[in-house]
């Protein structure tokens, strides 16, 4: 490629006389016009070892009183709009507002530019939306082509989207302690998911017997699966009336808490499938722990 070398004085004289400088063209259309079959512009810092070098290009626009592009780097294809990167004035014209960085493309040679991605002066990034309200705001489909496989999910949460598309995490499991529930009293536990969960109800008496009952729940449907008491006899029975559950252990004498190896409670779920309520039907105070695990 033929190189054209112009000294700084010649450039300054040309700019002073014509206000436009052309390299490779006699009819420049801009302040500086470079026309070549393969044009290039290079900024290079010095190569001195041990000396910091910086190549810097500054594009400075003037802030107006409306939301508009201030500085633009535009990419054209055969004279038609192709793509551009621009700094855009926020709504206010105060200098402290900084500027948005906007990436735009044209879908065809005859179409105008459309904003595709915006980085706000606050750091929020919007794809398909010009006013992102979160750190990453996507208006459109989202695809992740490759995700690592994890076999140990004990410490992982479930990612869900609310009705507004906001991504949130839900703990896979949770535990609620209900201490000292009086006769006829109740306690509540929150369900992390309405799509389906395993519920474990556990209680320990003063004799060291451990009662464990399991349920499945999906929205407002609650199903008892199993109930047992771990004791020296390894014997337990269950009676059920509706959603009431009576778990009885083999008698090993009166316990200090006076419960005599009987756990009588009612477990219900609300119509929204978001909350469990355990009611103590025993004649004595009881401690319960409710653990929920999302299916």
Instruction: Name which residue leads in pLDDT, 82 or 155.
Output: 82
Residues 198 and 265 in one domain: yes
275 closest CA partner among 187, 211, 185, 182: 187
- Asked whether residue 181 falls in the same domain as residue 76, the answer is no
C-alpha to C-alpha distances, 240 to 42, 93, 244, 273, nearest whole angstrom: 83, 71, 6, 22
Residue-wise pLDDT for 123-173, tens only, equals 999 999 988 999 999 999 888 888 887 776 666 677 777 788 888 777 677
pTM above 0.85, yes or no: no
- pLDDT tens-digit profile of 96-113? 567 899 999 998 877 889
Distance between start and end Cα atoms, the chain: 67
Average pLDDT of the chain is 78
With cut-offs at 50, 70 and 90, classify the pLDDT of residue 2: very low
Same domain, yes or no: 130 and 186: no
Contact 287, 176 (CB under 8 A): no
The predicted-structure confidence for 25-35, as pLDDT tens digits, reads as follows: 888 888 888 88
Number of structural domains found in the chain: 3
236-271: pLDDT as tens digits = 455 554 456 666 665 555 676 666 677 888 888 888
Give me the sign of the Cα torsion angle 8, 11, 15, 21: negative
* CATH number of the domain within which 230 lies: 2.60.40
Is 252 contained in some domain?
Answer: yes
Assigned domain for 122 exists: yes
Domain of residue 198: give its range. Answer: 173-294
């Amino acid at each position: 490629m033929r190189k054209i070398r112009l000294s700084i004085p010649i450039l300054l004289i040309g700019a002073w006389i014509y206000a436009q400088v052309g390299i490779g063209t006699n009819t420049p259309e801009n302040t500086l016009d470079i026309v070549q079959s393969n044009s290039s512009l290079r900024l290079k810092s010095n190569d001195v070892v041990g000396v910091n070098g910086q190549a810097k290009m500054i594009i400075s626009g003037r802030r107006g009183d409306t939301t508009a592009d201030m500085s633009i780097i535009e990419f054209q294809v055969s004279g038609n709009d192709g793509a551009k990167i621009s700094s855009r004035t926020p709504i206010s014209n105060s200098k402290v507002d900084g500027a948005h960085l906007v990436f735009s493309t044209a879908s065809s040679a005859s179409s105008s530019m459309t904003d595709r991605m915006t980085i706000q002066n606050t750091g929020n990034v919007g794809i398909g939306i010009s006013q992102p309200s979160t750190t990453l705001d996507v208006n459109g489909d989202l695809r992740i082509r490759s995700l690592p496989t994890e076999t140990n999910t004990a410490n992982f949460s479930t990612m869900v989207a609310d009705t507004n598309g906001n991504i949130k995490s839900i703990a896979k499991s949770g535990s609620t302690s209900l201490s000292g529930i009086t006769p006829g009293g109740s306690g509540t536990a929150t369900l992390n998911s309405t799509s389906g969960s395993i519920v474990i109800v556990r209680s320990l008496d003063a004799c060291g017997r451990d009662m464990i009952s399991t349920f499945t729940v999906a929205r407002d449907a609650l199903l008892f699966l199993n109930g047992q008491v771990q004791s020296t006899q390894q014997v337990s029975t269950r009676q059920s009336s509706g959603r009431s559950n009576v778990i009885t252990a083999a008698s090993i004498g009166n316990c200090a808490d006076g419960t005599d190896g009987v756990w009588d409670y009612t477990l219900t779920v609300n119509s929204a499938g978001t909350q469990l309520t355990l009611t103590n039907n025993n004649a004595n105070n009881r401690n319960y722990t409710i653990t929920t695990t999302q299916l």
